[in-house]
Copies of this chain bind each other. A is one copy, B any other.
Amino acid sequence: MASSTMRTPILMLFSLLALFLFSLNVASSGSSSSNIRTPLQHPLDPLTKEEITLIRTIVLNKHPKNITFHYVGLDDPDKPTLLKWASSSLHFKPHIPRQAFVIAMVNSVTHELLISLETKQILSDNIHSGVGFPTLTVDEQTEAIMLPLKYGPFIESVKKRGLNLSEVVCSVFTVGWYGETKSERKVRVECFMKEETVNIYVRPINGIAIVVHLEKMAIIEYHDRNIEPVPTAENTEYRAEYQKPPFGPKLHGLASFQPEGPGFKINGHTISWANWNLHVGYDARAGVIISMASIYDLEKHKARRVLYRGYISELFVPYQDPSDEWYYKTFFDAGEFGFGQSMVSMEPLHDCPPHAQFFDSYFAARDGSPSLLENAFCVFEQHGNIMWRHTEAGIPDQTIREARTEVSLVVRMVVTVGNYDNVVDWEFKPSGSIKLQISLSGMLEIKAVDIKHKDEIKEEQHGTLVSGNSVGVYHDHFYIYHLDLDIDGEENSFVKTGLKAVRVTDGSSKRKSYWTTESQTLKKESEAKIKLGQSPSELAVVNPNKNTSIGNHVGYRLLPASVTHPILYEDDYPQVRGAFTNYDVWVTPYSRNEKWAGGLYVDQSRGQDTLAIWTKQNRNIENKDIVMWYVVGIHHVPCQEDFPIMPLLSTGFELRPTNFFERNPVLKTLSPKTFKMPVCPKQN
């Protein structure tokens, strides 16, 4: 069987050819990019290019002037409607009219428009009069960053520092809210030097404060407080072609091939793979949305519902420098900048492995026209982990070993909000587990200081000296996931199982103690606000109406990441706005309007529309359609290795079936076929 024993002449020829061909370093795009066949439209499919164009036409028809589009997205159908659609057979599916939700500013007033794509009508047009502003548009940021370059005082400041104006590039920063009673749409603009390196974030021109009014598109405040040296460009460039040798260490490559083709089938945005079926949507605010994930139960001969909808609802990044130039940096990356709108095109073979399939997306530009995001996310199979195994050495005269290899399915996006790159993975396993991982890369935000060595530090710098003149400022990253689990149906409960020590005092055992469990169905929102790490417990979403044959409630449990709690005081403005981080886990009854944990209008929000406020209603969550919200955090004390670009730092958690199946659901899942390359010249 082994190839080395069957080297016929034709195989020799083959081997030479193979050697030649494998040596070609093909900078190819992996599998065909964006091979999305004409979809059988799913009601959750993201808006198409044509739909966005149509929406624009409809809206401009009513509001032809002074309009900017801040959000254009699918108005997802009612859950009952969608579930009915999903449960109907192919030819009897009810028609679900496509609708869009638009947030636009018309003459500086925020409008919420509901659009029918079928009747081509505006179904409603409401004015948002509360606090908070919509997500910034990419275009207004592009416009705002050009303002300083033509602004006299700034040009003077640049000159005063001996810098070259043509090498200055600026960036927009949201300003947060610090108790002001009146808010206007303004942002801070900070500038950087791009000479000699494209790594702008490590070369800030500090000491200057620029406030831009976005509606006026003008600088309304300007201060030049103090001059700090701009950190050197040396050793900060990250593009290979601009770096000086020596390079290293050398990493050896892998050629790979799927002889049976990919294991998934893609129909539009619906993916079926192994025992999973799921819809992967895109939204300019949320990024990738996983919907209607169900898993086929081999034993029950049916697909069973697991996740109705999952996505990252908000990302809160508070910096920890209270000084005038930094205090306001308490960003809400999803609500302020748009997590989906900040997704970047992924690089085949590097951002996603070979055999990945890429999906394009469209979001609306400021003028409402569709903007193409190529290779917006990818889907690929991950090979080679162990699925389960056992060696049985305990039966005399028998050697028993069974090891099954896993393949899993990963959906990946990269969201780059300014300096940071967030790699977000959803991994689906044949065992029913869903592993969610977030990895950080990109750059630190650097504060320029007149300090070249730690010994020179005389006062609190609010960060780590990571390079000469460069302080990496302390900050956090708090991601909150919206996880609308529908375990075998909508009506679910949230169960906390405490692990409690029991003292043996009656001499009934030689043990003095043991632990047991105490399960509690949490009935109200207030009970389901969980701070992890205080006492050992397991958290699960179960279906109290469905039992396994031996009587356990079917469920999925949360295996949390390393626990990270916010450190700011709860009454501090940023923490009021980011109050959804006050607990690690929250559970709410499903409400179509409760999508964004930090609120719908997050720019300069005041915390009135957050998960922390909604849950004050203390609604019933027992045997209801419930949503679990889970916060994953990272406290970031920068270190020199994070500079000038940060090696991936990962955290993650797992949603794991727990008495959902009657038994291990992959007991009868065979390892994939193994293929050995016929000729491996360097291996022997």
Interface: A643 (CB within 8 A): yes
Candidates B25, B28, B391; contact of A414 at CB < 8 Å: B391
Candidates B10, B25, B514, B565; contact of A673 at CB < 8 Å: B25
Interface: A497 (CB within 8 A): yes
Known: A200-B394, A255-B256, A344-B391. A386 touches B648 (CB 8 A): yes
In whole angstroms, how far apart are the Cα atoms of A245 and B668 in the complex?
8
Whether B252 contacts A386 by the Cβ 8 Å rule is: no
Give every chain B residue within 8 A of A575 (Cβ-Cβ). 513
How far is the CB of A14 from the nearest CB of chain B, in Å?
A: 5
**Which among A205-213, A216-224, A259-267 touches the partner chain?**
A259-267
In whole angstroms, how far apart are the Cα atoms of A443 and B674 in the complex?
26
Interface: A431 (CB within 8 A): yes
Give every chain B residue within 8 A of A433 (Cβ-Cβ). 647
Identify which of residues 500-534 in chain A touch chain B, using a CB-to-CB cut-off of 8 Å: 500-501, 503-504, 508-517, 533
Chain A: number of interface residues, binned into ranges: 35 or more
Give every chain B residue within 8 A of A656 (Cβ-Cβ). 641, 649
**Which among A125-133, A282-290, A403-411, A589-597 touches the partner chain?**
A403-411
In the complex, which of the residues A194, A257, A431, A432 has the most CB atoms of chain B within 10 Å of its own CB atom?
A: A257
Whether A511 contacts B247 by the Cβ 8 Å rule is: no
Interface: A254 (CB within 8 A): yes
Interface: A350 (CB within 8 A): yes
Copies in the assembly, this chain: 2
Whether A536 contacts B682 by the Cβ 8 Å rule is: no
Interface: A548 (CB within 8 A): yes
Candidates B2, B235, B668; contact of A247 at CB < 8 Å: B668
Interface: A664 (CB within 8 A): yes
Interface: A460 (CB within 8 A): yes
**Which A-B residue pairs are the 8 nearest by beta carbons?**
A454-B551, A261-B682, A322-B509, A255-B675, A253-B672, A252-B263, A350-B403, A344-B391
Whether A647 contacts B387 by the Cβ 8 Å rule is: yes
Whether A684 contacts B254 by the Cβ 8 Å rule is: no
Interface: A499 (CB within 8 A): yes
Give every chain B residue within 8 A of A431 (Cβ-Cβ). 641, 647
Interface: A49 (CB within 8 A): no
How far is the CB of A10 from the nearest CB of chain B, in Å?
A: 7
Candidates B402, B416, B497, B559; contact of A240 at CB < 8 Å: B402
Whether A421 contacts B669 by the Cβ 8 Å rule is: no
Identify which of residues 644-684 in chain A touch chain B, using a CB-to-CB cut-off of 8 Å: 644-649, 656-678, 680, 682-684
Interface: A574 (CB within 8 A): yes
**Which among A64-72, A100-108, A461-469, A600-608 touches the partner chain?**
A461-469
Identify which of residues 384-442 in chain A touch chain B, using a CB-to-CB cut-off of 8 Å: 384-396, 398, 400-407, 414, 416, 418, 421, 423, 429-433, 439, 441-442
Known: A474-B515, A573-B512, A667-B243. A676 touches B354 (CB 8 A): yes
Give every chain B residue within 8 A of A386 (Cβ-Cβ). 350-351, 423, 439, 441, 648
Whether A668 contacts B246 by the Cβ 8 Å rule is: yes
Give every chain B residue within 8 A of A615 (Cβ-Cβ). none
Give every chain B residue within 8 A of A1 (Cβ-Cβ). 24, 26-28
Identify which of residues 304-338 in chain A touch chain B, using a CB-to-CB cut-off of 8 Å: 320-324, 327-328
In whole angstroms, how far apart are the Cα atoms of A454 and B346 in the complex?
50
Known: A1-B27, A350-B386, A514-B321. A252 touches B262 (CB 8 A): yes
Interface: A550 (CB within 8 A): yes
Give every chain B residue within 8 A of A644 (Cβ-Cβ). 663-664, 667
Whether A659 contacts B640 by the Cβ 8 Å rule is: yes
Give every chain B residue within 8 A of A239 (Cβ-Cβ). 400, 402
Candidates B23, B275, B673; contact of A253 at CB < 8 Å: B673
Give every chain B residue within 8 A of A344 (Cβ-Cβ). 391, 393, 401
* Interface membership of chain A positions 139-157, coded 1 if the CB is closer than 8 angstroms to chain B and 0 otherwise: 0001001100000000000
Known: A327-B510, A390-B416. A683 touches B355 (CB 8 A): yes
Of the A-B pairs whose beta carbons lie under 8 Å apart in the complex, a sample of 20, sorted by A's number, is A179-B510, A251-B263, A252-B260, A252-B263, A327-B509, A345-B391, A347-B389, A351-B389, A354-B674, A385-B648, A389-B423, A454-B551, A462-B514, A474-B516, A474-B517, A499-B567, A503-B569, A536-B564, A550-B640, A643-B664
Whether A395 contacts B663 by the Cβ 8 Å rule is: no
Known: A354-B674, A660-B641. A251 touches B25 (CB 8 A): no
Whether A421 contacts B390 by the Cβ 8 Å rule is: yes
Whether A442 contacts B328 by the Cβ 8 Å rule is: no
How far is the CB of A543 from the nearest CB of chain B, in Å?
A: 14
Give every chain B residue within 8 A of A328 (Cβ-Cβ). 510
Interface: A22 (CB within 8 A): yes
Whether A28 contacts B247 by the Cβ 8 Å rule is: no
How far is the CB of A21 from the nearest CB of chain B, in Å?
A: 4
Interface: A614 (CB within 8 A): no
In whole angstroms, how far apart are the Cα atoms of A443 and B671 in the complex?
19
Give every chain B residue within 8 A of A661 (Cβ-Cβ). 640-641
Whether A500 contacts B567 by the Cβ 8 Å rule is: yes
